[in-house]
Amino acid sequence: MSPQTSRRRLSLTAGAGIAAVALVLAGCSGSAGEAETPDEPVDLRMAVWTADETQLALFQEIADAYIEENPDLVAEVTFEPIPFAEYTTTLTTQLAGGNAPDLAWILESYAPEFVQSGALVDIAPTLQAADGYKYDDLMDSSLALWQQDDELFAYPFSNSPFAMFVNTDQLAAAGQPNPADLVASGDWTYDAARDMAAAAAETSGKQGLVVRDFDYKAWEVLSSVWEGWDAAPWSEDGTQCTFTDPAMVDAMTWVHDAVFADKAIPGPGVTADFFAGESAMTITQISRASALDDSFAWDIVPLPAGPEGKQNVIGQAGIGVFANAEHPTIAADFLAYFTNPENAEKLATYFPPPRESLLNAQTLGAANPKLSEEQLQAVVVEGIQDAVTKPTHANFAKLQDVVRAELDALWTADADVEAVLEDTCATITPLLEG
């Protein structure tokens, strides 16, 4: 799928609060500038939302190697974890307060707003000029969300497909088929997954299918389901509500019935961690595979097909350099090193890279020993192809809260799905048009 036809990956923007930063940074955007030689080595800071010690150790290992090669430029690189729930709010507060990190992770939902705000510098010239960087190896489809004209404002270090993790012990105990067999026969559908999850839950007394991180709050995560209906919450240009389109009504009716009629999805207030053996299936990103252990038999398969077929959905995150950081040129140079082919291969242990040369089962298999080459090919390599991201919009933060509040009425057994979605459209239309 070309960048021009990649639905909701290019035309919509996300976030709120970042626009205020644009006023602070007006005129600050541009490239990282000419080579900088500081009077003494500088300290760099990168904001991240992971607190995983093994990931942070890998980042530090790469940073230490850069410092060893560039002792006149950098004395220390600090990776600053910020809790995910408050990550973007904290980051924009730092930006507006003149305390911007040199580099930061940016979630895909907020990418275009950051790109348009003037908060980030164009890193394309630095990456293109870096020795051995192989800029042409970066896939156009991965870069699209982070580009404006010919400029690149963040490196998409993580391109993590959504997939279905399955507890094959629980499914077998309930007399259900192996999802991998259904994938092979072309019968792996959301209806099949629902029925299998309901049967497993009834047998085990545990839960069936968990859409991880949804928790009846993060409604946008349900895009991993409704894409199978070719549904969307709003039009491609972000101006018209489409919650009331037949495709979305059908998709949300399916979700509602799977919760309240079929008992396949745990209801509101019920938590279940697949990785602790508390559910038969979970939809989540491939990057969660590191949480798997040998306490039960498991498999991982692509997302099921809906009535309109199978659609790949990814979560994406980029690393950008801030225009009002103290040393944007040096920060961009470090980013070029941090994401060069050798280090991108190391990062692939946790984050599927945007480099075409690394997106093969053999390379990813060396970095992900828990997953077979067959699993990696089907779920990661093929899962990134023609993928769409979760919903984004220029007014996303406000929309996220308002939609969540409107959808609260949907999560009761006797809810009128169509009426709730009509009310949702009526409420958010001014936010879409504004």
Classify residue 125: in a domain, yes or no.
yes
Classify residue 34: in a domain, yes or no.
yes
| 130/44 same-domain check | yes
| 176/209 same-domain check | yes
Rounded to whole angstroms, the Cα distance separating 344 from 89 reads 28
For the chain, how many structural domains are there in total?
3
Residue range of the domain that includes 405:
396-433
| 80/133 same-domain check | yes
pLDDT tens digits for range 317-359: 999 999 999 999 999 999 999 999 999 999 988 888 999 999 8
Classify residue 266: in a domain, yes or no.
yes
Rounded to whole angstroms, the Cα distance separating 279 from 273 reads 7
| 23/134 same-domain check | yes
- The arithmetic mean of pLDDT across residues 397-418, rounded, is 95
Q: What CATH number is given to the structural domain containing 31?
A: 3.40.190.10
Q: Which two tokens stand for residue 22?
A: 């644009």
Residue 3 pLDDT > 50, yes or no?
A: no
Q: What is the DSSP string of 81-102?
A: E--GGGHHHHHHHHHHTT---S
Q: Which residue has the tokens 């630095």?
A: 126
Classify residue 23: in a domain, yes or no.
yes
Rounded to whole angstroms, the Cα distance separating 375 from 300 reads 7
pLDDT tens digits for range 242-286: 999 999 999 999 999 999 999 999 999 999 999 999 999 999 988
| 52/127 same-domain check | yes
| 224/332 same-domain check | no
pLDDT tens digits for range 196-215: 999 999 999 999 999 999 99
Residue 380's pLDDT band, with cuts at 50, 70 and 90, is confident
Q: What is the DSSP string of 346-370?
A: HHTTTS--SBGGG-SHHHHHHH-TT
Rounded to whole angstroms, the Cα distance separating 115 from 382 reads 28
| 166/145 same-domain check | no
